């Protein structure tokens, strides 16, 4: 019989004692009035509604925009814990960029037999159009959101590397803004590292990757959004606004003098760096999906001629593909010569017969994910599934084993949320945001903490009823 | 043999063009037995924007059609010296791995007809004689898919051309590519020029295929003419299928229709 592993509570060592990063907050909380805090919580929600940060949930009514619930109890990370995460993440992101360069050039890692080529061949995330392309500044993933989970005092795992267009950074910024408004006194008691420089750092790191020979004093950066119907439109317009960059859509752009230019009030103006929030498939109807109305026809040609920077580079999805995830420790070692600082979650590849047999045998204890899925869609959480759901999933697994990977159900750490009766533990994960420029990697001290609001639930995805918390990294 | 090529492509639009792009893969490259002695491409009614080498090392140009025109003319011309290598193109170039040419693309996806053909060729030929098997395959395709112009489109897939039983060089090449891959051989599409001996005015640009052999490298097969490419063939672009190696790929916004006219002279 598998014994249920103990859950690590990040705040409390026992019901009356807070762990060190939380001690000041815990004391403050003890002196506060619960009713008063509940009111603050309602204020926070009103604040979010006012600024309009909403989120579209797929699979529900299309027009159903709703707020991601925000919890006012912060998630607090000690300085030394953060330093370790920072080193591990930087190592991983460095390896991912080296991997992407290799996989679109000489493919040494395949020649060396460290990853099977089948995982690349026939993978839709691998774009032949990127073969031989050298992105300006040598950077493929300008922005990475690495999803981390914790299972113990010193046990952090990488759950996913989001190397295409990770979203959620606007929540990191708005959550902090809200907390500063609600609880200014807390920020005088605790030395919390600021996150507010993120938009400026993003702008700087994008500009540092501009192709040489831009006109004017500094590179022109623009944010490409699919439009107001996209679930993350708020974030696109927010980031453009915060960076002082133009927010553009397909119809604002065209090709002129070998460049991508945008319509402005003073005519067309060339773009040096396009921070695109449009998926690869829709980016260029001349090269990819000809039906796309969201992209820029010819932009891949401009890119391949070296006349624009696309952030993130097309084809980076191959690095965060779930089929590849299980090889990440190898990848880190191959390109950095070091063993991975951050652990991978043990993963069974259902494409392999032995693994499939194990997974089918232990389905009720495992989490099974679609190789190409995201956002928590199409996954099975064994321990939470009914007999009927398990049987249905077993059939899917047998029909297309190569489409799935399985992982043990991790005992995700908890951080308390505020409920009617006070603090109550809920499971969390963490998505810090990493910016890559030609000569540096910056991880903003903080990130998006997602929390499963339902008691006992392990699914933190906002599309599945998760909420968010502000994430505090303490000064050393 | 020195081949002098003059290739004129004309698009006529029913309405003045608002916004249109043309991506050209029309420039042959020296190497693999051919030497480009002179080459130029001249465009009227459009403006060259940029050029680059694509993932298959094809020289590619992007042209913006001038706003308001109703005609664009692309003149590609030059002189290429070709050596007869009896169909052997030889070693692989560029970063694109050979295995990329092993998997089907939407244009070359096998259906029941292609799979049936692969089964037949497999059972009727000797697996130890790769060249013999491929020549037999080429002959089988020429036999069962009659060369006939105007009955298939540029968008016709290999499976439907085989099912229809007629097609042009593009269809022949893609059928051969698809079946060669089913039989375990990487295969690629080649677009280019062929000088037919009996004439200067050629009907259209030509297409054939190449199959990979570990020892010989890329080997050319011209299914439509039942021969191995010799010194009358100029290779211009390669790819996984006809889309990758298309001489011209266009995109146009706005109303109206367009007509394409090609005039091509290849001579010694």
Indicate whether B147 and B213 sit together in one domain: yes
Q: Tell me the count of A-B CB pairs closer than 8 A.
A: 72
**Residue A374: pLDDT band with limits 50, 70, 90:** low
For A224-279, the pLDDT digits (tens) are: 999 998 888 989 999 999 999 999 999 999 999 999 999 999 999 999 999 999 99
Indicate whether B106 and B26 sit together in one domain: no
Neighbour tally for A197: CB within 10 Å:
12
Tell me which residue range forms the domain holding B221: 88-239
By C-alpha distance, the chain A residue nearest B94 is: A132
CB B197 within 8 A of CB B166: no
Indicate whether B233 and B175 sit together in one domain: yes
- What six digits make up the tokens of A102? 């290799």
Residue among B50, B57, B249 whose CB faces A258 most closely: B50
- Residue A369 CA from chain centroid, whole number: 17
- pLDDT for A56 beyond 70: no
Residue among B49, B95, B103 whose CB faces A105 most closely: B95
What is the bridge-based pairing of β-strands B146-147 and B166-167? parallel
**Residue A395: pLDDT band with limits 50, 70, 90:** very high
By C-alpha distance, the chain B residue nearest A126 is: B100
Indicate whether B120 and B203 sit together in one domain: yes
- Interface touch B94/A122, C-beta < 8 Å: no
Say whether residue A279 is in contact with chain B using an 8 A CB cutoff.
no
Q: Which residues contact A127 (CB under 8 A, 6 or more apart)?
A: A280, A314, A315, A318
Indicate whether B146 and B192 sit together in one domain: yes
Residue among B19, B50, B94 whose CB faces A301 most closely: B50
* Chain B residues closer than 8 Å to A306 by CB: 52
State how far residue A100 is from chain B, nearest Cα, in angstroms.
13
For A418-440, the pLDDT digits (tens) are: 999 899 999 999 999 999 999 99
pLDDT of residue A2: 43
Say whether residue A123 is in contact with chain B using an 8 A CB cutoff.
no
Taking the CA atoms of residue A189, residue A190, residue A193 and residue A199 in that order, the dihedral angle to the nearest 10 degrees is: -60
Three-class SS of residue A204? helix
Neighbour tally for A476: CB within 10 Å:
10
Q: What is the mean pLDDT of residues A327-338?
A: 97
Q: What is the mean pLDDT of residues A84-94?
A: 97
What is the bridge-based pairing of β-strands B248-253 and B19-27? antiparallel
Cα distance between residue A408 and residue A346, in whole Å = 7
Residue among B50, B55, B240 whose CB faces A132 most closely: B55
The β-bridge partners of B41 are B76
Say whether residue A256 is in contact with chain B using an 8 A CB cutoff.
yes
For A212-226, the pLDDT digits (tens) are: 988 778 999 999 999
Indicate whether B139 and B219 sit together in one domain: yes
pLDDT of residue B200: 80
Helix (H) or strand (E) segment spanning residue A155: strand A155-162
Indicate whether B148 and B259 sit together in one domain: no
Helix (H) or strand (E) segment spanning residue A426: strand A422-431
* Chain B residues closer than 8 Å to A298 by CB: 21, 23, 49, 62, 251
Q: What is the mean pLDDT of residues B109-128?
A: 95
pLDDT of residue A62: 42
- Interface touch A304/B251, C-beta < 8 Å: no
**Residue B204: pLDDT band with limits 50, 70, 90:** confident
Q: What is the mean pLDDT of residues A76-103?
A: 97
Nearest Cα to B187, choosing from B174, B206, B196?
B174
Nearest Cα to A315, choosing from A98, A110, A103?
A103
Say whether residue A213 is in contact with chain B using an 8 A CB cutoff.
no
- What six digits make up the tokens of B194? 């062929």
Cα distance between residue A462 and residue A72, in whole Å = 16
For A137-156, the pLDDT digits (tens) are: 999 999 999 999 999 999 99
Residue among B55, B57, B249 whose CB faces A129 most closely: B55
Indicate whether B255 and B232 sit together in one domain: no
B14: domain CATH number is 2.60.40.2250
Helix (H) or strand (E) segment spanning residue A301: helix A299-304
* Chain A residues closer than 8 Å to B55 by CB: 128-132
Residue written as tokens 């159009």? A129
**Residue A57: pLDDT band with limits 50, 70, 90:** very low
Q: Which residues of B touch A (CB under 8 A)?
A: 19, 21, 23, 49-55, 57, 60, 62, 64, 94-97, 99-100, 102-103, 240, 249, 251
Say whether residue A456 is in contact with chain B using an 8 A CB cutoff.
no
CB A53 within 8 A of CB A69: no
* Chain A residues closer than 8 Å to B50 by CB: 258, 301-302, 305, 307
Q: What is the mean pLDDT of residues B243-266?
A: 93
Three-class SS of residue A192? strand
The β-bridge partners of A361 are none
Indicate whether B36 and B97 sit together in one domain: no
Nearest Cα to A250, choosing from A241, A263, A269?
A263
What is the bridge-based pairing of β-strands A366-370 and A380-381? antiparallel
> Is the dihedral angle over the CA atoms B214, B215, B216, B220 positive or is it negative?
negative
Cis peptide leading into A316, omega within 30 of 0? Answer: no
- pLDDT for A461 beyond 90: no
Residue among B21, B95, B103 whose CB faces A132 most closely: B95
Domain count, chain B: 2
By C-alpha distance, the chain A residue nearest B57 is: A132
- Interface touch B62/A301, C-beta < 8 Å: yes
Q: What is the overall mean pLDDT for chain A? A: 91
* Ranges of H-type helices in A161-298: 169-182, 184-189, 198-208, 233-243, 280-283
Cα distance between residue A222 and residue B86, in whole Å = 53
The ipTM is 0.95
Indicate whether B235 and B253 sit together in one domain: no
Indicate whether B206 and B118 sit together in one domain: yes
**Does the domain spanning A346-409 belong to CATH 3.30.1490.270?**
yes
Interface test with A, best of B19, B22, B99 (most A CBs within 10 A): B99
Cα distance between residue B100 and residue B78, in whole Å = 31
Nearest Cα to A405, choosing from A328, A303, A466?
A328
B181: domain CATH number is 3.10.620.30
Three-class SS of residue A23? helix
Secondary structure of A307-368 in the HEC alphabet?
Answer: CCEEECCCCHHHHCCHHHHCCHHHHHHHHHCCCCCCEECCCEECCCHHHHHHHHHCHHHEEE
By C-alpha distance, the chain A residue nearest B253 is: A297
Say whether residue A293 is in contact with chain B using an 8 A CB cutoff.
no
For B1-19, the pLDDT digits (tens) are: 999 999 999 999 999 999 9
CB A103 within 8 A of CB A318: yes
Three-class SS of residue A103? helix
> Is the dihedral angle over the CA atoms A39, A40, A44, A49 positive or is it negative?
positive
State how far residue B96 is from chain A, nearest Cα, in angstroms.
6
Indicate whether B54 and B183 sit together in one domain: no
pLDDT of residue A310: 98
């Amino acid at each position: 019989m598998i014994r249920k592993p103990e859950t690590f509570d990040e705040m409390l060592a026992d019901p009356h004692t807070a762990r060190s990063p939380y001690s000041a907050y815990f004391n403050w909380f003890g002196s506060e009035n619960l009713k008063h805090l509940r009111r603050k919580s309602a204020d926070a929600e009103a604040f979010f509604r006012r600024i309009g940060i909403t989120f579209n949930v797929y699979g529900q009514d299309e027009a159903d925009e709703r707020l991601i619930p925000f919890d006012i109890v912060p998630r607090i990370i000690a300085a030394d814990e953060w330093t370790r995460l920072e080193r591990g993440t930087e190592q991983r992101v460095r390896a991912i960029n080296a991997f992407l360069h290799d996989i679109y050039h000489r493919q040494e890692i395949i020649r060396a037999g460290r990853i099977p080529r089948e995982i690349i061949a026939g993978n839709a995330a691998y774009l032949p159009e990127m073969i031989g392309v050298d992105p300006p500044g040598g950077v493929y993933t300008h922005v990475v959101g690495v999803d981390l989970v914790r299972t113990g005092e010193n046990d952090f795992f990488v759950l996913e590397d989001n190397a295409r267009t990770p979203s959620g950074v606007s929540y990191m910024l708005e959550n902090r803004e809200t907390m500063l408004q609600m609880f200014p006194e807390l920020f005088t008691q605790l030395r919390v590292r600021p996150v507010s420089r993120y938009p400026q750092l993003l702008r700087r790191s994008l500009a540092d990757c501009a192709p040489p020979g831009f006109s004017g004093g500094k590179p022109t950066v623009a944010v490409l959004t699919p439009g107001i119907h996209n679930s993350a439109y708020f974030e696109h317009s927010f980031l453009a606004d915060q960076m002082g960059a133009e927010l553009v859509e397909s119809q604002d752009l065209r090709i002129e003098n070998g460049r991508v230019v945008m319509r402005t009030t003073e005519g067309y103006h060339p773009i040096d760096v396009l921070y695109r929030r449009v998926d690869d498939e829709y980016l260029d109807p001349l090269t990819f999906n000809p039906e796309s109305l969201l992209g820029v026809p010819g932009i891949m040609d401009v890119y391949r001629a070296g006349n624009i920077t696309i952030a993130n580079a097309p084809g980076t999805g191959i690095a965060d593909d779930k089929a590849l995830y299980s090889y990440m420790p190898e990848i880190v070692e191959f390109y950095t010569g070091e063993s991975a600082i951050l652990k991978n979650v043990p993963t069974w590849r259902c494409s392999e017969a032995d693994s499939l047999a194990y997974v089918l045998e232990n389905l009720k204890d495992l989490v099974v994910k679609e190789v190409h899925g995201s956002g928590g869609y199409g996954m099975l959480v064994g321990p939470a599934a009914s007999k009927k759901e398990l049987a249905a999933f077993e059939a899917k697994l047998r029909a297309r084993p190569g489409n799935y990977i399985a992982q043990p159900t991790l005992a995700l750490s908890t951080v308390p949320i505020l409920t009617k009766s006070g603090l109550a533990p809920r499971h969390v994960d963490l998505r810090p945001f990493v910016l890559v420029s030609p000569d540096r990697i910056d991880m903003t001290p903080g990130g998006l903490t997602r929390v499963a609001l339902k008691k006992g639930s392990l699914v933190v995805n906002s599309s599945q009823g998760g909420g968010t918390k502000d994430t505090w990294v303490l000064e050393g | 043999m020195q081949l002098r090529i003059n290739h004129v492509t004309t698009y006529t639009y029913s309405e003045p063009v608002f916004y249109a792009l043309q991506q050209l893969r029309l420039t042959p490259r020296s190497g693999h037995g051919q030497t480009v002695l002179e080459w130029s491409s001249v465009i009227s009614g459009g403006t060259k924007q940029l050029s680059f080498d694509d993932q298959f090392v094809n020289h590619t140009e992007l042209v913006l059609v001038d706003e308001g025109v109703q005609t664009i003319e692309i003149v590609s011309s030059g002189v290429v010296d070709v050596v007869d290598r009896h169909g052997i193109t030889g070693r692989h170039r560029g970063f694109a791995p050979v295995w990329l040419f092993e998997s089907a693309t939407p244009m070359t996806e096998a259906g029941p007809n292609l799979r049936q053909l692969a089964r037949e060729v497999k059972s009727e030929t000797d697996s130890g004689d790769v060249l013999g098997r491929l020549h037999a395959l080429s002959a089988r395709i020429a036999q069962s898919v009659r060369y006939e112009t105007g009955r298939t489109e540029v968008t016709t897939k290999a499976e439907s051309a085989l099912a229809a039983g007629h097609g042009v060089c593009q269809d022949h090449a893609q059928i051969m590519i698809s079946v060669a891959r089913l039989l375990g051989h990487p295969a690629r599409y080649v677009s280019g020029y062929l000088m037919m001996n009996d004439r200067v005015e050629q009907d259209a640009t030509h297409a054939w295929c190449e199959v990979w052999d570990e020892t010989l490298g890329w080997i050319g097969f011209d299914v439509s003419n039942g021969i191995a490419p010799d010194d009358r063939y100029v290779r211009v672009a390669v790819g996984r299928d006809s889309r990758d190696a298309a001489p011209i790929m266009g995109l146009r916004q706005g109303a109206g229709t367009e007509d394409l006219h090609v005039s091509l002279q290849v001579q010694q």
